[in-house]
A and B are shown apart, each in its own frame.
Chain A
């Protein structure tokens, strides 16, 4: 007997793709509609991930610009629960710490700032009056938007520099204006720009230490010391600050790093983001069911084609592969469209907010993975049905 080996030819990847695509080409409307569900799901997930990473990127870049080497020192509480005070000489001690590059201080002055003496004392507008050392602006890397910062001459005179919010609340838009502080008039000599790392300065009216002592009864005790050191020695400095500032009662000193708040915001994923991600996943699931439905119908409609292919020598496996490829192509089409849409939505939203548009690469990888998994799952059952069809039954269908 002739036992010549009968082995079916293997289909190359391009032939598998061709047979898979053949079924889609003739039904474009159905392809678009059933790929749409997947496209919406993928687009939602990419856009949600993209927008939240763009906002995070924005915060990280801001952190980068502002630096994370700023520490603030403030008095805590005494053992008896009273407000502690920083010693008058604390600032000088901080400046003597080796790695400290620049340090400056503010001290709360117990008075108010008003446009005129006729406005009642109680109406402070939430503006704090503070004494500030002359190098405060250098330490905070802040900017003056109008007029000038305090100098050796003005820090001893009845002159005041307003933080951005303070100026806004007082309705002051130009310098040279007189404001009522304590029991006398001060002249506004400057207005500061925004200070993301020291929002309390934005809400302050700042006078020089000598002027505060002379005109406003300031006791000379700093209430906040701002300090910058080299980035790599921040932790070391942080460790020695309490004992340096208050050798007798180091536990009455609190040290904090304002950039930590920004970093925490960057790290947090909001509950809203998770909710939207869940919605995207549901859309994706519904899209997968749509693809499966389309594939089942496709197999039913194409029984004759299946029979013909079997008569031409297609094995069951090759028929199965054809319909799996078709299902994968269908969901890949939706996935690609969704990724493009999601990318565009991210770019549009981020640019409208002035953020850098960022979609993490893993989100795209996840989208590819999700579409492959969905395409396979949706195609598996229809493909098995197609492969199980007997060639004669398939051909006999009219």
Chain B
């Protein structure tokens, strides 16, 4: 009965989106944003400009006051809590400024528990978690607990947790905000590798260097998108890490034993 649907070209599709919080706060004032598969987008702007609000709407953690949010072709407005949860479990990965790792739980299990809501059996969760940690250069730290890891390593565990299920879209809210520049470079190196492997990524950042490093920059101010450079630049990979001389050093840093 169903007619073959044309392939949905956008991973993220925001049209005239506004978001009001209680007390007359208008965090977003009509945002249009289209992100194609495989893009690496920086969302930059001053504090309070609405970047996190924007990311929460893209991540379906919140609903817009008006306007349309479509993620992987699904109109968020028409989805129930259960359907939104399923969408997050299968299509989205989140990395937060605070790492949100469970204390006292090994890196492996922290990552494996991230797959809990995808319906993967425990054994397969652990296998995929080990592979994801390998991918972020922490193959040798599987049994370490968060308090035994550096900040950069903890954030890489959080990235591994976000990408263990191979979500098509990765959202990161200031992933390097709590890290010094070397640790931040480790995390960015991981994001670059994921982007090269085809994951669509949106990174919120304060840091102009990191924004410049991304192929596309969306600038937000007072709840509006004021500039959008490099849209549709697609899968063009970024250069070396902004904070480091070249990719070699970044690669060495992330695997370096401490």
Contacts and interface: CB of A to CB of B under 8 A. Distances in A.
Interface string A6-17: 111111101100
A313 to B, nearest CB: 2
A311 interface: yes
A305 B102 contact: yes
Interface stretch (A192-200, A226-234, A282-290, A389-397): A389-397
Interface in A48-97: none
B88 interface: yes
Interface residues of A, number: 36
Interface in A225-254: none
A3 B3 CA distance: 11
Given A10-B119, A26-B104, A2 B62 contact: no
A311 B83 contact: no
A71 to B, nearest CB: 70
A159 B85 CA distance: 97
Interface in B234-252: none
A118 interface: no
Interface in A1-51: 1-4, 6-12, 14-15, 19, 22, 25-26
Interface residues of B, number: 40
Contact of B102 (A10, A22, A313): A22
A314 interface: yes
Given A6-B83, A14-B122, A26-B104, A314 B117 contact: yes
B73 A8 contact: no
A157 interface: no
Contacts of A4: 73
B88 A312 contact: yes
B100 A304 contact: yes
B116 A392 contact: no
Most-contacted residue by chain B among A26, A308, A309 (CB, 10 A):
A308
Nearest to B84: A6
Nearest to B88: A313
Interface string A190-223: 0000000000000000000000000000000000
Interface string B91-103: 0101010101011
A114 interface: no
B82 interface: yes
A22 B5 CA distance: 43
B61 A392 contact: yes
Given A8-B82, A11-B116, A313 B89 contact: yes
Contacts of A390: 61-62
Interface in A299-340: 304-305, 307-318
Interface in B138-164: 161
A315 B104 contact: no
B72 interface: yes
B61 to A, nearest CB: 4
Contact of A313 (B8, B74, B117): B117
B81 A315 contact: yes
A7 B80 CA distance: 10
A9 B74 contact: no
A8 B86 contact: yes
B73 A9 contact: no
Given A304-B98, A308-B100, A310-B85, 20 more contacts: A1-B75, A2-B8, A3-B2, A4-B73, A8-B82, A8-B86, A9-B89, A9-B117, A15-B122, A25-B104, A26-B103, A310-B61, A312-B88, A313-B90, A313-B118, A314-B89, A315-B117, A391-B61, A391-B62, A392-B62
Interface of B: 2, 5, 8, 56, 59, 61-62, 72-75, 79, 81-90, 92, 94, 96, 98, 100, 102-105, 113-114, 116-119, 121-122, 161
27 contacts: A2-B5, A2-B8, A3-B5, A4-B73, A6-B86, A8-B117, A9-B89, A11-B116, A26-B102, A26-B103, A26-B104, A305-B100, A310-B61, A312-B94, A312-B114, A312-B161, A313-B86, A313-B87, A313-B88, A314-B85, A314-B116, A315-B81, A315-B86, A316-B85, A390-B61, A392-B61, A392-B62
